[in-house]
Amino acid sequence: MALEDAKNQVDTAITREGMKGPSFENTFSGLPTFLRRTFTKDLAAADIAITGAPFDQAVTNRPGARLGPRAIREASALQSPDAPFGWGYDVMSEFAIADYGDLAFDYAAPANFPARLEAHIAGILAQDCAAITLGGDHSITLPILRAHAAKHGPLALIQVDAHTDSWPDDDPSRVDHGTFVYKAVKEGLIVPERSVQVGIRTEVDDRLGIAGVDAPEVHRIGPDLVADRVREVVGDHPAYLTFDIDGLDPAFAPGTGTPVWGGLSTAQAAAILRGIAGVNLVGGDVVEVSPPYDHAGITAVAAAHVAVELLCLWGWTRR
């Protein structure tokens, strides 16, 4: 059946009837929505939406993450015909997943971007639909957290990253990808004692009460114990997971703005994400994919896998 479908299907993102089920069209052709999901602005029938925030004007080093959502979508086509490995269920068949497209914004007015993104995500959540966001630099997470906290209350934050992004910044007008955690704590968007950062390998004076499993400890104790630690910290609190692709070692994700050696392998990341199944995930993002610095698309492929894992994590408690 799959072979016959591959011969005849094309652009299932716009021709599909309904939102469930895998896509067997050729992975190298057709409209590149995320996982070949239906492209729509009508979320009445959707359980969860993928959306893009192509913004990179808050970076401190190499730009290019504005091109991330497009690259991640293209890479995700490789996974569209098959159930995600290691989960024991097919999130594409059990849940209606839509590709909501990207946020529209004025690139020449970056100060207006956070409010636009917050309203964009709030609009998805208002349709009784969850959201997974493709970035974009890591500044996008702050307005996304504002939208989620308005719906769910203060959140547990699960952050995979090379950097804590908790550098002090008390200027509300600044848009910076290295300060979203600091501002989220100060605004009461996240609960520090229920939050955890994984893969950190940069020095910071104040962790703001957030637990950490830094990269050397991940390598020392292994992903299974890391997952246990994350579940212990988060408990059953509503959680948001943000995955900065620089949490991976540059060997696995060279296409990013601020690479730091000594990071996680893709195998470790996969084991950790699958090991925290059961957390009450209400949303998530994958950020900082910079295609101009990528090689053979490996960073985009890794990010597409992360986004699928986020879908599976969200669906695990809702099957």
Quick: pLDDT tens for 18-57. Answer: 899 888 888 888 889 999 999 999 999 999 999 999 999 9
Would you give per-residue pLDDT tens digits along the chain (319 residues)? 565 667 778 888 888 888 998 888 888 888 899 999 999 999 999 999 999 999 999 999 899 999 999 999 999 999 999 999 999 999 999 999 999 999 999 999 999 999 999 999 999 999 999 999 999 999 999 999 999 999 999 999 999 999 999 988 888 889 888 899 999 999 999 999 999 999 999 988 889 999 999 999 999 999 999 999 999 999 999 999 999 999 999 999 999 999 999 999 999 999 999 999 999 999 999 999 999 999 999 999 999 999 999 999 999 999 9
Give whole-number Cα distances, 219 to 195, 199, 262, in Å: 20, 9, 9
CA atoms within 13 Å, Cβ hemisphere of 52: 24
Domain count, the chain: 1
Task: Evaluate whether 68 touches 54 at the Cβ level (below 8 Å).
Answer: yes
Domain of residue 230: give its range: 2-316
Give whole-number Cα distances, 197 to 91, 97, 134, 172, 203, in Å: 26, 28, 19, 24, 13
Q: Which residues of 10-40 are buried (b: 16+ CB within 10 A; e: fewer)?
A: eebbeebeebbebbbbebeebbbbbbbbbbb
Compute the distance between CA of residue 218 and CA of residue 33 in angstroms, rounded to an integer.
34
Dihedral-angle region of residue 11 (phi above 0 means left; psi in -120 to 50 means alpha; beta otherwise): left
Task: Give residue 297's pLDDT.
Answer: 97
Classify 103 as helix, strand or coil: coil
Compute the distance between CA of residue 17 and CA of residue 12 in angstroms, rounded to an integer.
9
Task: Evaluate whether 12 touches 56 at the Cβ level (below 8 Å).
Answer: no
CA atoms within 13 Å, Cβ hemisphere of 67: 15
Q: How many CB atoms lie within 10 A of CB 315?
A: 23
Rg of the chain (C-alpha set)? 18
Task: Give residue 171's pLDDT.
Answer: 86
The dihedrals phi and psi of 199, each to the nearest 5 degrees, come to 95, 5
Task: Evaluate whether 62 touches 290 at the Cβ level (below 8 Å).
Answer: yes
Task: Evaluate whether 178 touches 250 at the Cβ level (below 8 Å).
Answer: no
Task: Give residue 170's pLDDT.
Answer: 85
Task: Fill in the amino acid letter for 127.
Answer: Q
Q: What sign has the CA pseudo-torsion 251, 253, 256, 259?
A: negative
Give whole-number Cα distances, 59 to 67, 303, 305, in Å: 13, 18, 24
Cα–chain-centroid distance for residue 13?
21
Q: Give me the long-range contacts of 9-16 (CB less than 8 A, separation at least 24).
A: 12/36, 13/37, 13/38, 13/39, 13/99, 14/38, 14/39
Task: Give residue 2's pLDDT.
Answer: 67
The dihedrals phi and psi of 90, each to the nearest 5 degrees, come to -105, 105
Give whole-number Cα distances, 200 to 145, 262, 289, in Å: 20, 10, 18
Q: What is the CATH number of the domain that holds 62?
A: 3.40.800.10
Task: Give residue 30's pLDDT.
Answer: 86
SS3 letters for 240-258?
EEEEEHHHECCCCCCCCCC
Task: Give residue 90's pLDDT.
Answer: 97
